[in-house]
Structure 1
Amino acid sequence: MERNNLAFYDQQASQWWNETATIFPLSKLNPLRFQYFDRFIPNWRGLKVLDVGCGGGYTCEFLAQRGARVTGIDPSAACIEVATDHAEEMGLTINYHVGVGEILPFACDLFDVVVCVDVLEHVQSVAATVTEIGRVIQPGGLFCFDTINRTWQSRWLMIWLLEDVLRQIPRGIHNWHQFVPPKELHQLLTQAEFSQVTLQGFDLFGRTPLAQITHLIHYLRTGEFQIQFDNHTGVMYIGTARMS
């Protein structure tokens, strides 16, 4: 079975904003992850923000509704088409592009903030993507991200349980070998001249297998995630870095 099969996003594009679609639960993560990012940026109004790996536009629209001047980029032309159409329907001005994180078609020092959520575990080169993000952020600008750690816990939860057993995530969407350990990402950020790196656990499912199953049962019953930020980075983690 192919792993890191990103064709899923093309296949889901037409249903991206359908509340019954497989992809739609991702839209519910933005209010949660921005509880963390808002600690560093309490007011997004007027900021020039790039969303790398924007898909059909969940995070772009979330930020545009908060007054940011948003640009989104994604390798899926189908997702970008849907994102563009939906933004127009919502009366939102968002600048969308087809492209990849490793080669961003933007000038240096252009953005106040770059957001890259649920994406670094899918790119072909994390190092190249982080370097490009650093290039397009102006000095003093902020990089906001979350991703998945490469541990036995993430393999058990994200792939075996959520993909293979419960089928809450499409099978093949993740490649465990492309998950990104926090130490590795911290090193890449430093090499790309970022500083003031923060990292915390983005704990959607609890720390232990029993807690994770309990959280999943709650989600399956209610459709709501239970979130806490802590020092447990064994599965998902979230962070920021400041461009020097």
Structure 2
Amino acid sequence: MKGSHEVPRENQSSVDPADVARFNRLGELWWDKTGKMGILHDINPIRVEYVRLQASRHLGRERDADLAGLSIADIGCGGGILAEALAELGAKVTGVDPAPNNVEIARRHAAKSGLDIDYRNTTAEALAATGESFDIVTALEVIEHVEGPKAFVATLARLVKPGGLLFLATIDRTFKSFVLAIVGAEYVLGWVPRGTHSHEKFVRPDELSGWLRVAGMREIDRAGMSFSPLTRQWAKGADTGVNYLMAAKKDG
């Protein structure tokens, strides 16, 4: 099936060395809110609120509760933008990234922020092999960069405790996403470095939902993220034709 890229088998690394090298070179740019990674800072409040809201709905917590007491694995944590925000809400966060420079940047920034985050320079497959599991697993803006995304989803599912949640964010494989996420974001506006994305590796929402079912998880929500050029702000909505979020639960 187009877009599935099923190279890795179970326990085989999903890491794309070229992508890891590309992100490994970003260094301090991770925390430059006006630089090439600024878009992640712009959308991070939406991502964090999505995780918090779904956790309050599906993990038996009070509606407006924070994430205190929950264990979270942030897969593909990069420089720690999402991991720090989740830790600030009280979660016990483990950040995982195969790029050593990313992990070093994340550790240093967390120390400056006074946050205790367990950062590890490893892969999702290696983490799953340890037998560890978490209340919540996040892999946001990651799956479009891996080899064997279906197998990667299965690995993520193995990391989720029974009754726990998995959150994914990625880009739909549409003509609209090619125009906006690649031509616009990379070549016209320069929001992200050129060559960051490959359109054929984008994932249709129904594809992702199907991979989750095969992995023993159930989609519980999906939402789009869209940018308004008039307000220059990002918002969550119904349009999943470019950027979207998805939440799934492991029953049991």
TM-score, length of structure 1 as denominator length: 0.85
Shift of 1:116: 1.0
Q: 2:186 pairs with 163, 184, 188, which one?
A: 163
Equivalent-residue separation in structure 2 for 1:28 and 1:166 (angstroms): 15
Residue by residue over 1:67-90, the C-alpha shift from the partner in whole angstroms, topping out at 9 and shown as x without a partner, is: 000001112110101101111121
CA contact (8 A) 2:165 2:249 kept: yes
Moved more, 156-165 or 18-27: 18-27
Q: 1:216 pairs with 224, 229, 241, which one?
A: 229
Shift of 1:103: 4.1
Q: 1:131 pairs with 149, 154, 161, which one?
A: 154
1:191 aligns with 2:214: yes
Q: 1:75 pairs with 98, 114, 127, which one?
A: 98
- CA distance 1:19–1:200, shift in 2 (3 Å): closer
Q: 1:21 pairs with 26, 31, 35, which one?
A: 35
Q: 1:226 pairs with 223, 228, 234, which one?
A: 234
Equivalent-residue separation in structure 2 for 1:74 and 1:142 (angstroms): 20
CA contact (8 A) 2:128 2:158 kept: no
SS at match of 1:92: coil
Residue 242 of structure 1 aligns with which residue?
Answer: 249
Q: 1:122 pairs with 122, 145, 154, which one?
A: 145
Equivalent-residue separation in structure 2 for 1:16 and 1:133 (angstroms): 24
Any unmatched runs of 5+ in structure 2? 1-17, 57-65
Q: 1:48 pairs with 60, 71, 91, which one?
A: 71
Any unmatched runs of 5+ in structure 1? 206-214, 220-224
Shift of 1:105: 4.8
SS at match of 1:121: helix
CA contact (8 A) 2:224 2:240 kept: yes
CA contact (8 A) 1:199 1:239 kept: yes
Residue by residue over 1:190-236, the C-alpha shift from the partner in whole angstroms, topping out at 9 and shown as x without a partner, is: 0000024322222x22xxxxxxxxx23643xxxxx230321x21111
Equivalent-residue separation in structure 1 for 2:126 and 2:147 (angstroms): 11
TM-score, length of structure 2 as denominator length: 0.83
CA contact (8 A) 2:48 2:82 kept: no
Matched residue type, 1:168: W
Residue 37 of structure 1 aligns with which residue?
Answer: 51
CA contact (8 A) 2:39 2:192 kept: no
Shift of 1:126: 1.1
- CA distance 1:196–1:8, shift in 2 (3 Å): closer
SS at match of 2:176: helix
Residue 10 of structure 1 aligns with which residue?
Answer: 24
SS at match of 1:227: strand
Equivalent-residue separation in structure 2 for 1:17 and 1:28 (angstroms): 12
